[in-house]
Amino acid sequence: MNSLIRRKSRVVRIGNVLVGGQEPIRIQSMLTSDTCDVPKVIEEMESLVQAGCEIIRVTVPNHKSVEALYKIREVMFNRGINIPLVADIHFNPQLAVNAAEIVEKVRINPGNYVDKKKFEIIEYTEVQYQEELQRLEEKLLPLIKQLKKYDRCLRIGTNHGSLSDRVMNRFGDTPQGMAESAMEFLRILEKHQYFETVISMKASNPIVMRAAYQEIVRKMDLEKMNYPLHLGVTEAGDGIDGRVKSALGIGSLLLDGIGDTIRVSLTEPATSEIPAARSILNGTKKLARKSLPIQVNKQSNMVSKEIEIDGIRLGGEMPFHLMGISNFVVEDLPSEPFDKVWDQKQWASEIFPNLHSCDFKNSNIGNKAVLFEIDELDLEKIIEFRKILEFKGFEPVFLAMLSLTEEEDELMGLAAGLGSLILMKMIQGLIVPTTNLNHPTVQMILSLLQAARVKTYKADFISCPSCGRTHFDLQTATAKIKMKTEHLKGVKIGIMGCVVNGPGEMADADFGYVGSGSGKINLYKGHSCVRKNIPEEKAVDYLIELIQEHGMWQDLKKLSKK
Selection from 259, 262, 256 nearest residue 275 by Cα: 262
Convert the pLDDT of each residue in 507-551 to its tens digit: 678 898 988 878 889 999 887 889 999 998 999 999 999 999 999
Give pLDDT, residue 34: 92
Query: In angstroms, rounded to a whole number, what is the distance separating the alpha carbons of residues 282 and 473?
Result: 32
Q: How confident is the model at residue 303 (pLDDT cuts 50, 70, 90)?
A: confident
Selection from 473, 467, 476, 515 nearest residue 494 by Cα: 515
Q: With a cut of 70, say whether residue 364 has pLDDT above it.
A: no
Q: How confident is the model at residue 265 (pLDDT cuts 50, 70, 90)?
A: very high
More confident residue, 338 or 363: 338
Same domain, 111 and 239: yes
Is there a domain that residue 222 lies in?
yes
Q: How confident is the model at residue 304 (pLDDT cuts 50, 70, 90)?
A: confident
Selection from 184, 147, 241 nearest residue 445 by Cα: 241
Is there a domain that residue 37 lies in?
no
| Beta-ladder partners of 262 | 27, 231
Convert the pLDDT of each residue in 153-174 to its tens digit: 999 999 988 888 889 888 988 9
Give pLDDT, residue 355: 46
Q: With a cut of 60, say whether residue 295 has pLDDT above it.
A: no
Whether omega before 337 lies within 30 degrees of 0, making that bond cis, reads yes
- Pure H helices in 80-155: 93-99, 126-150
Share of the chain above pLDDT 90, in %: 59
Same domain, 131 and 278: yes
Report the range of poorest mean pLDDT among 38-47, 131-140, 324-333, 516-525. Answer: 324-333
Is there a domain that residue 66 lies in?
no
User: Which of 302-306's residues contact partners 24+ apart within 8 Å by CB, and which partners?
Assistant: 302/386, 302/390, 302/424, 302/425, 302/426, 303/395, 303/425, 304/367, 304/395, 304/396, 304/397, 304/398, 304/428, 305/367, 305/395, 305/396, 305/397
CB 456 within 8 A of CB 252: no
| Beta-ladder partners of 157 | 200
Give pLDDT, residue 346: 75
Same domain, 318 and 278: no
Other CB atoms within a 10 A radius of the CB of residue 8 amount to 10
Q: How confident is the model at residue 374 (pLDDT cuts 50, 70, 90)?
A: low
CATH number for the domain harbouring residue 228: 3.20.20.20
Stretch (H or E) spanning 30: strand 26-30
Same domain, 254 and 357: no
Is there a domain that residue 35 lies in?
no
Give pLDDT, residue 353: 46
Other CB atoms within a 10 A radius of the CB of residue 76 amount to 19
User: Tell me, what amino acid is at 93?
Assistant: P
Mean pLDDT of 14-42: 96
Q: How confident is the model at residue 338 (pLDDT cuts 50, 70, 90)?
A: very high
Number of domains in the chain: 3
Give pLDDT, residue 358: 45
Is there a domain that residue 132 lies in?
yes
Query: In angstroms, rounded to a whole number, what is the distance separating the alpha carbons of residues 180 and 129?
Result: 13
The answer to whether the pTM exceeds 0.85 is yes
Query: In angstroms, rounded to a whole number, what is the distance separating the alpha carbons of residues 527 and 511?
Result: 9
CATH number for the domain harbouring residue 495: 3.30.413.10
Residue 147 domain boundaries: 12-23+88-286
Q: With a cut of 60, say whether residue 485 has pLDDT above it.
A: yes
User: For residues 466-485, b (16+ Cβ closer than 10 Å) or e, as one string?
Assistant: bbbbbbbebbebbeebbebb
What 3-state class would DSSP assign to 517?
A: strand
Same domain, 366 and 465: no
Same domain, 168 and 275: yes
Q: How confident is the model at residue 1 (pLDDT cuts 50, 70, 90)?
A: low
Report the range of poorest mean pLDDT among 141-155, 376-390, 416-430. Answer: 376-390
Q: With a cut of 90, say whether residue 385 has pLDDT above it.
A: no
Q: Residue 315 region, left (φ>0) first, then alpha (ψ -120 to 50), else beta?
A: left
CB 456 within 8 A of CB 450: yes
User: Tell me, what amino acid is at 229?
Assistant: L
Mean pLDDT of 477-496: 90
End-of-domain residue from the set 421, 451, 481: 451
Give pLDDT, residue 500: 62
Selection from 77, 35, 28 nearest residue 270 by Cα: 28
Q: Where are the strands (E) in 218-311, listed by range? A: 230-231, 261-262, 307-309
Selection from 372, 429, 438 nearest residue 406 by Cα: 438
Is there a domain that residue 302 lies in?
no
End-of-domain residue from the set 388, 418, 451: 451
Give pLDDT, residue 505: 61
Same domain, 224 and 339: no
End-of-domain residue from the set 431, 451, 471: 451
CB 249 within 8 A of CB 447: no
Query: In angstroms, rounded to a whole number, what is the distance separating the alpha carbons of residues 112 and 504?
Result: 12
Give pLDDT, residue 357: 46
Q: Where are the strands (E) in 329-432, listed by range? A: 340-343, 369-374, 397-402, 429-432
> How far is the CA of 215 from the CAs of 163, 170, 237, in angstroms?
16, 16, 25
Mean pLDDT of 187-200: 98
User: Tell me, what amino acid is at 22?
Assistant: Q
Convert the pLDDT of each residue in 435-470 to its tens digit: 999 999 999 999 999 999 999 999 998 888 777 777
Give pLDDT, residue 360: 44
Question: DSSP string covering 488-509, please?
Answer: STT-EEEEESSTTTHHHHGGG-
> Which H, E and C letters describe 400-418, residue by residue?
EEECCCCCHHHHHHHHHHH
Is there a domain that residue 30 lies in?
no
Q: How confident is the model at residue 398 (pLDDT cuts 50, 70, 90)?
A: confident
CB 481 within 8 A of CB 514: no
Same domain, 232 and 359: no
Same domain, 103 and 146: yes
> How far is the CA of 342 from the CAs of 264, 326, 372, 416, in angstroms?
37, 6, 18, 27
What 3-state class would DSSP assign to 379?
A: helix
What 3-state class would DSSP assign to 561?
A: helix
Same domain, 278 and 329: no
Same domain, 483 and 557: yes
Other CB atoms within a 10 A radius of the CB of residue 297 amount to 18
| Beta-ladder partners of 57 | 30, 86
Q: With a cut of 70, say whether residue 331 has pLDDT above it.
A: no
Query: In angstroms, rounded to a whole number, what is the distance separating the alpha carbons of residues 66 and 99?
Result: 6
CB 181 within 8 A of CB 133: no
Mean pLDDT of 39-60: 97
More confident residue, 347 or 562: 347
What 3-state class would DSSP assign to 240?
A: helix
Same domain, 121 and 257: yes
Query: In angstroms, rounded to a whole number, what is the distance separating the alpha carbons of residues 419 and 251?
Result: 9
Q: With a cut of 50, say whether residue 290 has pLDDT above it.
A: yes
Helix 239-246 / helix 408-423 crossing angle, nearest 10 deg: 60
Is there a domain that residue 80 lies in?
no
What does DSSP assign to residue 210? H
Convert the pLDDT of each residue in 489-511 to its tens digit: 989 998 887 666 556 666 678 89
Mean pLDDT of 135-161: 96
Alpha carbon 451 to chain centroid distance? 10
Give pLDDT, residue 354: 45
Report the range of poorest mean pLDDT among 96-105, 142-151, 478-487. Answer: 478-487
Give pLDDT, residue 286: 84
**Average per-residue pLDDT for the chain:** 87
Query: In angstroms, rounded to a whole number, what is the distance separating the alpha carbons of residues 49 and 83?
Result: 8
Q: With a cut of 60, say whether residue 145 has pLDDT above it.
A: yes
Convert the pLDDT of each residue in 98-134 to its tens digit: 999 999 999 999 998 987 666 566 778 889 889 989 9
Give pLDDT, residue 92: 93
